[in-house]
Each structure stands twice: as structure tokens, then as C-alpha cells.
């Protein structure tokens, strides 16, 4: 019997989900929270307060606020965030804690003793700016962060869940955690009942390209803009939509002047951050994400479920979402010409070829990345460690 089950009436115990935005929990993990509740867990969450905090509470989940700023570097504020997270652990006394993103994993593992023996699960949803850039600033930060992570993982005894084998191997090679305390579950899954194909019009029209991601260098926005410029020079006819916002405070983000120029560029329909990705994917023919590194990109899973053709980079996080030539193309990172060639090939393909590719994308989403399977495996992980 778990220590909380008598107190709460839960047949399994209390589980605390911790993320650095309520947006992430609501948009990426809501079905996991619901599935956990179905299996008898009393679900509690902690995040900074935002537009999605109340909707999560309206779903019946107990919420606690913690100032976990993903971009925060002020030592005093970060120390206060640690103290507040420790207070949430002490107050809620969970049986299991699930931490999302690198920073939350670090902080949650450091204060794990305040949860008094709770099983700690950390989700490494991506390696972040620290691992994807090589500036002097990130090189300076990387060593102390790795040392802190190693100590925190040892202190907490956490089990880490990675979204691809490459990220897991990097942690093991740095001797941060033994393989026995790791799992690989590809992404947060996609709700294939929500994201589904829309019947395309048979009328002739230019193909629509969609870039969806934060306006960061590492997401490939520079290569996308260069490739679309080159395609127009070659006479290709298409439309381009860019959905994504800059990331203030991140040195690789487009600055305000660059975003303003993009907004005024008639070659692209820049819409910024969108809350209605379902509609965007239903209207897009080809989704393009020339990203440098990913865990498993949620946007591409949603695109596949929506029956979009996909062009992305040949990296571990994107492999498996695209079967080359069957539902799109994989291209090298940071190279414009292969991206141009891949898009040229798709723009010049026949309607029948594109219809086949769309069907294959949908099949990949259903058979490999459905959130039903992802959530089943994740909840089983809680159960296997909570007895």
C-alpha cells in the first residue's frame, strides 16, 4: 500500500508532474495525465502559472506554482525556484514524480530527498541549447551542468526516459546514469483521433509548404528561408507559411528586426505562434523542419497524423517519422542545396504520388507514434517502479 493511497483514496498513489510551462503539460501531456488518473493515480502538477494552469485544474488536477523559467540564469532566482520546488515535494508527498525537460530533471533530482523516497522519472525531451550550440558561453556552462546532473541523478536514483537512442547514449557516455536506469520511448505520442487527414481538393493549386517551430537557428529557419528563396529563383511555384515565434533570451533566436522583416516578406505568410496546429496541418501539403537536433519533434508527429508529406533532417530524433521517398525526405543538417533538391522533387511529383505519401505518413503515425501506445508504456513504467 502506498503512503498516500489511504489518505487520498487513490488505488495507486499520488503522482506529481513537473514542467517548466503549463503550456507543455496541456498541449503535449494532457492525455498522459488523464491516462494516469484512469489507472488510479491521484494526479498533481507543478509549473509556472500561465494561460493553461486553470484549464489543467478544470480537468480535475491539483496544481502548484513553481517559477521554473527555462531561460533563467539569475543565481538567486534559480535558488528560490529550487526552494519552492522542494516545498511542493514536501507538501504533496508524491509516490512518483515525473519531470519534463533537462532543467526540470536537474532541479527535481536535486530536491528529490524532500519527496521522501518517491520514485523519480525524468523525461529528457531534448538536449536543449546547451548541447546544440558551441558558443563560449555554452561551453563554459556545459561542464558544471553535467557535474550537477551526475550528482543529482545519483542522489535521486532517477529513471530517465529518452526520446531516442542517441540522446540516451550521450548520457551513458558521460557516465551520468547507468543504462539499467534508462528507457527509450519515442516522443510524447500523437492523438491520432484529433490530428487526422483532411480530404484534399482535386483542383490545381500551388503546393503549400509549412515551417512550424520556434524561430531558432537550431530549428533550421535560416536554411528554410534560403531554400525557399532558391526554389523561387529556379521557378518553383508554391506557397509558404511560417508558424513559430522567436525565443527572447536565446542567443540563436531571430531578433526583433529579423522577425519584423519576415512579417513584411510577401514570399511568406508569417503567422507567429499558432494555437490551431490542427487546421494548419490540414491545409499544408509539405511540412518542413530542417532542425539540427531533436528528441522526437511533436510537430512532425502531428503532421504525420494529419497526412502531411514531411521534409526534415537525417538525425536520430527524426528518423522513423520519415521513410525516405515513401512519405517525404531526410536531408543533411545545415545544408541548403539538399533541402532545395528534396523540395523540388516533391513539388514536381504527381498528385497520385503525393496521395500515396500522405497515406504512408498517416500509417506511420498510427503504427509507431500513437499516444495510446506511448502513454501505455509510460504508465506501465510508473507501475513497475511504484510497488
The Cα–Cα gap between 108 and 124 comes to: 13
What are residue 322's phi and psi, to 5 degrees? -120, 125
Q: Give me the pLDDT at residue 127, please.
A: 60
- Domain ranges (residues) in the chain: 5-189+370-386, 207-368
Q: In this structure, how many other beta carbons lie within 10 angstroms of the beta carbon of residue 369?
A: 24
Q: For residue 153, which of 109, 123, 185 has the smallest C-alpha distance? A: 109
How many whole angstroms from its chain centre is CA 179? 23
Q: In sequence order, which ranges of the chain are alpha helices (DSSP H)?
A: 5-8, 22-28, 30-38, 53-58, 75-92, 102-110, 128-132, 136-156, 165-173, 221-233, 256-264, 277-283, 298-305, 336-347, 351-368, 371-386
The Cα–Cα gap between 184 and 288 comes to: 25
Q: Report DSSP letters for 133-145, one per residue.
A: ---HHHHHHHHHH
**Residue carrying the nine cell digits 523542419:** 289
Instruction: Quote the cell numbers at residue 177.
Output: 546514469
Report yes or no: 313 and 332 within 8 Å, Cβ to Cβ. Answer: yes
Report yes or no: 113 and 155 within 8 Å, Cβ to Cβ. Answer: yes
Contacts with 200 (C-beta within 8 Å, 6 or more apart), sequence order: 285, 355, 358
**Residue carrying the nine cell digits 556552462:** 141
Q: Give me the pLDDT at residue 331, please.
A: 98
Report yes or no: 291 and 311 within 8 Å, Cβ to Cβ. Answer: no
How many whole angstroms from its chain centre is CA 39? 24
Q: Give me the pLDDT at residue 200, please.
A: 72
5-189+370-386 fold: Rossmann fold (3.40.50)
What is the reported pTM? 0.83
Instruction: Quote the cell numbers at residue 146.
Output: 553535467
Q: Give me the pLDDT at residue 387, please.
A: 39
Q: Give me the pLDDT at residue 128, please.
A: 55
Per-residue pLDDT of the chain (387 residues; tens, 9 = 90+): 344 444 445 568 999 999 999 999 999 999 999 999 999 999 999 999 999 999 999 999 999 999 987 666 678 889 999 999 999 999 999 999 999 998 999 999 999 999 999 999 999 986 655 555 555 556 666 778 889 999 999 999 999 999 989 889 989 998 999 999 999 999 889 999 999 998 876 567 899 999 999 999 999 999 999 999 999 999 999 999 999 999 887 888 999 999 999 999 999 999 999 989 999 999 999 999 999 988 899 999 999 999 999 999 999 999 999 999 999 999 999 999 999 999 999 999 999 999 999 999 999 999 999 999 999 999 999 977 643
The helix (run of H) or strand (run of E) holding residue 334 is: none
Domain at 207-368, CATH class = alpha beta
Amino acid at each position: 500500500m502506498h503512503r498516500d493511497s489511504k489518505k487520498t483514496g487513490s488505488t495507486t498513489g499520488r503522482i506529481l508532474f513537473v514542467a517548466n510551462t503549463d503550456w507543455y503539460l496541456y498541449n503535449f501531456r494532457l492525455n498522459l495525465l488523464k491516462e494516469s488518473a484512469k489507472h488510479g493515480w491521484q494526479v498533481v502538477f507543478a509549473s509556472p502559472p500561465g494561460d493553461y494552469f486553470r484549464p489543467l485544474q478544470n480537468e480535475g488536477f491539483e496544481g502548484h506554482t513553481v517559477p521554473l523559467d527555462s531561460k533563467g540564469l539569475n543565481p538567486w532566482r534559480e535558488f528560490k525556484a529550487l526552494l519552492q520546488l522542494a516545498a511542493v515535494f514536501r507538501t504533496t508527498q508524491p509516490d512518483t514524480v515525473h519531470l519534463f525537460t533537462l532543467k526540470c530533471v536537474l532541479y527535481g533530482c536535486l530536491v528529490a530527498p524532500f519527496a521522501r523516497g518517491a520514485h523519480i522519472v525524468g523525461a529528457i525531451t531534448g538536449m536543449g541549447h546547451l548541447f546544440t550550440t558551441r558558443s563560449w558561453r555554452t561551453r563554459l556552462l556545459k561542464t558544471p551542468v553535467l557535474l550537477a546532473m551526475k550528482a543529482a541523478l545519483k542522489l535521486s536514483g532517477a529513471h530517465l526516459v529518452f526520446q531516442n537512442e542517441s540522446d540516451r547514449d550521450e548520457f551513458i557516455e558521460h557516465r551520468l546514469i547507468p543504462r539499467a536506469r534508462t528507457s527509450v520511448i519515442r516522443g510524447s505520442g500523437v492523438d491520432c483521433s484529433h490530428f487526422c487527414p483532411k480530404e484534399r481538393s482535386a483542383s490545381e493549386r500551388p503546393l503549400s509548404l509549412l515551417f512550424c517551430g520556434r524561430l531558432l537557428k537550431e530549428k533550421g529557419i535560416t536554411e528554410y528561408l534560403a531554400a525557399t528563396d532558391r526554389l523561387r529563383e529556379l521557378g518553383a511555384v508554391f506557397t509558404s507559411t511560417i508558424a513559430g515565434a522567436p525565443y527572447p533570451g536565446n542567443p540563436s533566436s531571430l531578433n526583433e528586426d529579423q522577425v519584423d522583416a519576415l512579417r513584411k516578406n510577401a514570399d511568406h505568410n508569417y503567422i507567429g505562434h499558432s494555437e490551431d496546429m490542427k487546421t494548419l496541418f490540414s491545409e499544408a501539403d509539405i511540412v518542413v523542419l530542417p532542425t539540427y537536433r531533436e528528441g522526437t519533434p511533436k510537430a512532425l508527429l502531428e503532421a504525420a497524423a494529419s497526412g502531411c508529406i514531411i521534409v526534415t533532417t537525417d538525425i536520430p530524433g527524426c528518423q522513423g517519422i520519415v521513410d525516405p521517398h515513401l512519405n517525404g525526405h531526410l536531408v543533411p543538417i545545415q545544408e541548403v542545396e539538399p533541402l532545395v533538391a528534396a523540395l523540388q522533387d516533391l513539388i514536381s511529383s504527381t498528385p497520385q504520388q503525393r496521395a500515396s505519401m500522405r497515406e504512408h505518413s498517416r500509417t506511420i503515425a498510427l503504427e509507431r507514434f500513437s499516444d495510446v501506445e506511448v502513454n501505455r508504456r509510460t504508465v506501465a513504467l510508473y507501475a513497475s517502479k511504484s510497488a
